[in-house]
Structure formats: structure tokens, C-alpha cells
Amino acid sequence: MIQPHGSDKLNPLYVADAAKRAALTKEAQKLPSIVISSAAAGNAVMLASGYFNPLTGFMTLADALSVAKTMTTTSGLFWPTPVVNVVKDITPIKGAKRIALRDPNVEGNPILAIQDVTSIDVATEDQMKLMTEKVFRTLDMNHPGVSAFNTVGTTFIAGPIQVLSYSYFATEFPETFRTAVEMRDLIKKNGWDNGNVVAFQTRNPMHRAHEELVKMAMERLHCKGAIIHMLLGKLKKGDIPADVRDACIRKMAELYFKPNTVEITGYGFDMLYAGPREAVLHAVFRQNMGATHLIVGRDHAGVGDYYGPFDAQTIFHNEVPKNALKIQIFEADNTAFSKELGKVIMMREAPEGHKKESFVALSGTKVREMLSKGEALPPEFARPEVAKILMGYYQSL
């Protein structure tokens, strides 16, 4: 099986030993504590799960700046985005060297992790701008990732963490949330560990084009299996909730994929909408979970028109150092159903003379409009069973 990023074996930061976890939970009740941001909580869950291997905790401001500028930490580890715990006010933990981190996403703010504080630094306005521009490629506060990064504070609390829970992900999505350790075990159990395994990132329900794209990648890469790996954390307003996406994707896999060729799983993280940089982060943690390939399509992890349609592919050629990652990228074009050919194809692979209007393409706005009115989507665009679940959701709004 493919090696994790940056080490021989995974180093998940969740305290798996029940007795040790109970002792740490007891200790945490007496420690100075602080409610962290949703982004930091997501980082903690990814560290707990082994997805952010080989990191041992939250980065220093110096590391965050280095990662933003060069995609490497100050020690030389390749990493594409800052993994930080940023707050507005450190008054509750001032002077403490060991603190409890409280979960902002669970009622009552239970303790999520314990952090040993190695440094606390306040970023200047210029440093925040630099990190924002390098990671998100824009300073526009209308960009949801830029807004999230710049409204949680400027004080960076660095240091290793021990994580005591997986936040709400394990309880709200028990059938879907899986750690990188569990993913590697699943790949072995399925007998996929001596062949190629492709991962598909999604924050949306899968339409026909997505389904066929996964099948194309599996066929062309001679994969033993595919992992449809959905984001379960916070999204922007208007995105479809995780439970609805989960139901749609499971129904599609059950009816339209061969048995034992696909796994539907998810991970606990808030979407960054950082386009190219986030695509690289997706590759890092898919390598950690055991995938050999990641599908990177048009406008991967993007939002609005902040990024070029294929910037998330070209970054791997132009900015990611050779051999920085072991995972490989399957570069996909827009896929759509061709009425001329009677099947889903990548648009760039359309034969000469193929008419553009032959493709069945619907805008997100048009899809939402049709579903909320109870109108059936074209079967070439969406599987009827999937459309039915979506229709139920939109009509309930």
C-alpha cells in the first residue's frame, strides 16, 4: 500500500487508549480552556484522524507563513495550507503552557483536545494579507474561505495536541465518517491494497457526469476500487447538507456500481474553497488514507470565478515539487451526457464536429429551480432515484 505523507506509518493524534483518554479528559477539566474556531476544530479532527500526517499539532506563525509562501514548513516538510489555531482573545489561557481546546460546533462546548503551548504569536496585517493572498489567491472578503480565515482573529497558538473526540462527525455520521487509519484498514479488507485505488472528492450530490467520471478513472487506471470521499464539515450558504448528499451518493452507488468496487465515506473538515491549494491538500490527505490516485476535475475546490477552470491541475505541474507526493492525479475535464453519442464523455474527448448543444448541461440554479418545483431532471443528467431524494429536500425548504 502507498506510504503516508512524510513518515513510514500514520501518526493519528486521537488518544485511542480509553484509560489514557479518560485521565486526560479529567485533567482537561482543570486546565485553562478556550473555545476555538470551527476551522481549528476541523484541523484538530483531521490531525486526530491521521489525515494530516505527519503533523503533530498546530503550526507556528513562522510555519504558517512559510507554508503560505513556499508550501513547505520551516523544517522543510511539504505542506500546502496552514494548519493553525487562531483566536481573537487569549485572556482565558494567558500564561498557560498546557490548555484545553473547546469545541465550537457541539452544544456546551465540550473539550475536544489538549494542547501544549509552544508559542503564541500575533500576526500583523501584512502577514495576514500575505497568507490570504498566497493560499486563496484573492483578498476579496466575499470569498467564503478568505472571510473565514480573516474573521477568527490574528493570534496563533502553536504546539502539539492530543485529541479526545472526533467532534460531531462520528456521532452524526456513524455510517460515513472514517479516519485515515480506518480507510487503510478498509482498503486492506477489500483486497485493494496491492493495486490502484482512486479517490473522488465531493461536497455535492453526484450527478451522472460525476458517476461516469469515477468509472472512467477506475477503468483507465485499472483500479481495484474507488473511494467516494465526501466533506462532512461546514460549507457555504446554499450548499446541500451532508446527510442529503450522503443519501444521494449511497443510492447511486448501490444501484449503479458493481458490488465491492466502491466505498462511500467522509471526513470531518470545513471547506476552504481555496481552489488549487486545497486540491493539493486533498491529495496529501488522500495519500495518507491509502489512495494511489485522486481525481482532480474542473474548478476543483473552487468557488465563484476566483480560479481558472484547470488551475487545480496545473498547480501539480508548476508548483508542487517532483516527488513531494507519492499519490498521482487523474486529470479530468468537464464531463456531460452527449445526445449524439448516447453516453457521458469528457468534453475534450468529443469527436471532431461534435455539436456543443448536444451536451445535456444544466446550471446549478436551473437544477435547484426544477427540483423545488417538483420537475424531474433529465435522466441523462441525474439518476431518477437520486433526483427524487434531492427533490424531497428542495421541496422541504
d(CA 46, CA 289): 11
- Which residues have a Cβ under 8 Å from the Cβ of 209 and sit 6 or more positions away? 334, 335, 336, 337, 344, 381
Q: Domain check: are 272 and 184 in the same one? A: yes
Question: Which runs of consecutive H residues, i.e. helices, occur in 90-237?
Answer: 125-136, 144-150, 169-172, 180-189, 208-220
**pLDDT value at 300 more than 90:** yes
The answer on 274 and 140 residing in a single domain is no
User: Within 13 Å of residue 176, how many CA atoms lie on the same side as its CB?
Assistant: 23
Round the average pLDDT of the chain to a whole number and report it: 95
To the nearest 10°, report the CA torsion of 254, 255, 261, 267.
-40
Q: DSSP assignment, residue 379?
A: T
pLDDT in tens, 201-228: 998 888 899 999 999 999 999 999 999 9
Q: Which of 131, 150, 170 finishes a domain?
A: 170
pLDDT recorded at residue 239: 77
The pLDDT score that the predictor gives to residue 157 is: 98
Specify whether 72 is located in the same domain as 145: yes
For the residues of 13-82, what is the DSSP string, one character each? -B---HHHHHHHHHHHHHS-EEE--HHHHHHHHHHHHTTTTT--EEPPHHHHHHHHHHSB-TT--B-SS-
189 with 266, same domain: the answer is yes
Domain span at residue 298 reads: 175-396
Same domain flag for 122 and 73: yes
Report d(CA 155, CA 90) in Å as an integer. 8
Confidence tier at 302 by pLDDT (50, 70, 90): very high
- Residue 305 pLDDT exceeds 90: yes
- The catalytic residue among 21, 98, 203, 368 is 203
| Predicted pLDDT of residue 323 | 94
Domain count, the chain: 2
Q: Are residues 149 and 183 in the same domain?
A: no
Residues 159 and 180 in one domain: no
pLDDT at 371: 86
- Indicate whether 183 and 106 sit together in one domain: no
Give the model confidence (pLDDT) of 164-212 as tens digits: 999 999 999 999 999 999 999 999 999 999 999 999 999 888 889 999 9
pLDDT at 288 over 90: yes
Count of CB atoms situated within 10 Å of the CB of 160: 16
Alpha carbons within 13 A on the beta-carbon side of 70: 11
Whether residue 70 is contained in a domain is answered as yes
361 — pLDDT class (breaks 50, 70, 90)? confident
Looking up cell 482537561 gives 28
- Lowest-confidence region among 3-12, 76-85, 286-295, 383-392: 383-392
Q: How far apart are CA 236 and CA 234, in angstroms?
A: 7
Q: What is the DSSP letter of 7?
A: S
Given 170, 195, 222, the domain boundary residue is 170
* pLDDT given for residue 368 in this prediction: 80
pLDDT value at residue 281? 98
Is-contact 210 202, C-beta < 8 A?
Answer: yes
The answer to whether position 299 is within a domain reads yes
The verdict on 77 and 226 lying in the same domain is: no
**pTM, rounded to two decimals:** 0.95
Does residue 3 fall inside a structural domain?
no
363: pLDDT strictly greater than 80: no
Average pLDDT over residues 359-363: 81
- Residue 234: what residue type? K
Domain annotation covers residue 2: no
Task: Write the pLDDT tens digit of every residue in 51-101.
Answer: 999 999 999 999 999 999 999 999 999 999 999 999 999 999 999 999 999
Kindly state the percentage of the chain with pLDDT values over 70.
Answer: 99
146, 170, 194 - which closes a domain? 170
Is the model more confident about 375 or about 103?
Answer: 103
Measured distance CA(218)–CA(125) in Å, rounded: 46
- 231 with 206, same domain: the answer is yes
108 CB neighbour count, 10 Å cutoff: 6
Q: Which helix (H) or strand (E) holds 331?
A: strand 328-331
Both 73 and 194 in one domain: the answer is no
Is position 260 annotated as part of the catalytic site? no
Q: Which of 204, 250, 298, 368 is catalytic?
A: 204
User: Is residue 360 assigned to a domain?
Assistant: yes
- Locate all alpha helices (DSSP H) within 236-363, ordered by sequence: 242-256, 276-289, 311-318
Q: Buried b vs exposed e over 7-18: b needs ≥16 C-beta within 10 Å? A: eeebbbbbbeee
Cis amide bond preceding 205, omega within 30: no
What is the β-pairing status of strands 155-163 and 119-122? antiparallel
The least confident of 27-41, 116-130, 330-344 is 330-344
Known catalytic residue at 203 = yes
Q: Could you tell me if 161 and 187 lie in one domain?
A: no
